[in-house]
Structure 1
Amino acid sequence: MSSYRQPVLGILGGGQLARMLALAAAPLGVKTQVVDNVADACAGQVAPLIQADWNDQAALDAFAAQVDVVTFDFENVPAEAARRLAGKVAVYPNPDALAVAQDRLTEKTMFRECGIATPAFMPVDDRAGLDRALAEIGAPAVLKTRRFGYDGKGQFRLKTLADADAAWAALGASAATHGLILEAFVPFQRELSVLAVRGRDGEFRTWPLTGNWHTDGVLSLSLAPAPDIDDLQIRAAALARTLAEQLDYVGVFALELFVKDGELLGNEMAPRVHNSGHWSIEGAHTSQFENHVRAVLGMPLGDTGVRGCSAMFNWIGELPDMAPVLRAVDGHWHDYGKQPRPGRKVGHATVCAPDAATLAIRLRDIAQALGREEQAEPGLRALGGTSA
């Protein structure tokens, strides 16, 4: 009689994405092992957690010996650590894809190589370089750190050329260590994301385009499918496929897009499961988390079609009262088990419905009960058929 051994998925990073990956892995008979550099990472509440520094080679070697495949839940895991692990165990997505997404200049260059239009951009290495970039690109523009920027961090918007000194005062210290990039500001009409998954055998699927709204650079509300996308779904999926094949990517990723005058412009790529895809847990036949586990372990991919329409509230800083969500028809609550802190993602809620009109009613009712009308308002406008 042959013995059965459950596969073990190793996850670098122990935040809420790792937490949701572990929860999605369990029904598939997959164990998870998480490593993070802090002892209280919230994924440790649902999966075994090893605390180790990313540069602790002995700890990483021991971690590799315990797992069958390694993935990661955020893109700031050092690519060198992923490469070291790849010498001992399969790592998906591959470390080269991770490295590309860690550097905004490399990422934007890759976009253009793949035929993805982008805003104008130039590298900035010193104060004189900022002046040269501004002379080429003009204002308004956004100065960003090339690395370690997310959720609006590491960015300074220059409304006019006169803001150059203030921008340099804010970010210039990062030029020597992480490098900077100046990007033209895009007066976009919409922000969308395409969530995609590619298997180890090259099979490729996308979920319907998601419409997103941000507050202070952090995702506030998502709608899926995004209303009034016309032919954008086919175009966005084609761009995502090209990118995935160029990088020989395995797993789930998000391509964030601006829509300006009907044109799709690449903003950023997230080489992991993504905040704008959390609605898929209840709103899709197969969630982004389950499909990521399937992809990296070489399992068949699941159906990415939707069950109807979904809206997701992102909870930042602290959780509101859960009762209105729990009382709602098809309302779903997710507490990440984190201590409240300003600017911190601590949970989300999703409400689903069979059609857009019903979703608008449920979204409005929940927002009013929570006192979150302002957060829901752009989504309600979009569901009402007007541009947002």
Structure 2
Amino acid sequence: MQLPIPSHCPNTNFIYFILSLLISINLCTKTESTSTSCNEGYSFSKMGRNITHCKKLGTLKAEFGWNYHGRVHDFPNNRSSTLVDIFFSAPPVGATGWVAWGLNPRKPFMAGTRALIGFKHPNGSMHLETYNITIDTKRGCQLSSSAIEVEVNDKNITYSADSGFLTIIATLSLPQEYNISKLNLVWQVGSVKDSMPQMHDDTLKNFDSAETIDLSSGKSTSVRHRLHYHRTAHGVLSIVGWGTLVPIGAITARYFKEFPVKFCGWYPLHVSCQISGYLIGSTGWVIGIYLGSSSRYYDFTTHRDFGIIIFTFSTLQVLALFVRPKKGDDHLRYWNIYHHLLGYTLIVLITINIFKGINILRPEKIWKWTYMGLVSVLAFVVISLEVFTWIKFVKCKRLNHRP
């Protein structure tokens, strides 16, 4: 069946706004930061060490300082290496939690990182060892200390009771495979059980704890900055498309078709909201798929699965508009039951998944309160119209039964 052309088409300026948003996001996907002077704002500044570069890392309140000594050539073995002093500080998880800092010669990911992991024992003694972080570590295999190809000298770890930070100090000789202009830093914090480091928390701030840095200039690009704009676009488009337009389309069909209020343009408005909501929401869903593919070493399974179900149900709802039986057709009753049941289920799943996404992203509280306000307004409208429907229904029934 061919759909009538909606008389209430989405505002052209609104579509332009969405396109402009996506273009600006693509233009802003790379954000750089630079190192600063090592003043008293850093936990390791009171150690009395001469540190030439310092910077606040993007997550976990971590700090990083370094001295870059340049390349050193080992003539007897005919090889060269890069000499670097590193200072890394972060607050551990609990009094005996661990902190870790490492380098990945390939990409800014956990798997493949050569790390220094340290923690404080309950008796006050300190522990600092080298570790190879592999894909098996991500899968939950027990982490054990091991030798790494990076030569580590003068390693030490200290704890500051004033700041609550653990500080890892070491001098590294980096092999040639480590490009100092694009050095992949990875850091992390977690808990300790029976003197063994446990898996860190599954939050974005943990997964985003990586940067690519130029040791000579101090400029860096973080994973968090690179994905921040895509995550924001994913959230905004999902809330506008799935979370706003789709429910408004359902409200239009439920309360303005014939009863309690008859609105002749209800169907074009319903179709416009459903199709525009589907297109905008699907755009957010595609960005979500991209975010999932960019996060090879972690995923949010429930949020992802709900998203796939929402996209599938929404596609079925839109396709159902094109095969809607004509008025008077025997199959119209069954089509209506299917369309309504799937639509209400879809709205419930959308609401749950948007809240799940907000809890994953953990943005400013205004995001959560704004969406809660939107849900509250829509719920108030639905409840008000439902009450009005029943009042009008009861009055009409009484009038029909009068002698």
Same fold (TM over 0.5): no
Q: Which has the higher contact order (CA 8 A, sep 6+)?
A: 2
Q: Which has the higher helix share?
A: 2
Structure richer in strand, relative to its length: 1
Which structure has the larger Rg over C-alpha atoms?
Answer: 2
With structure 2 as the length reference, what TM-score do the two structures score?
0.26
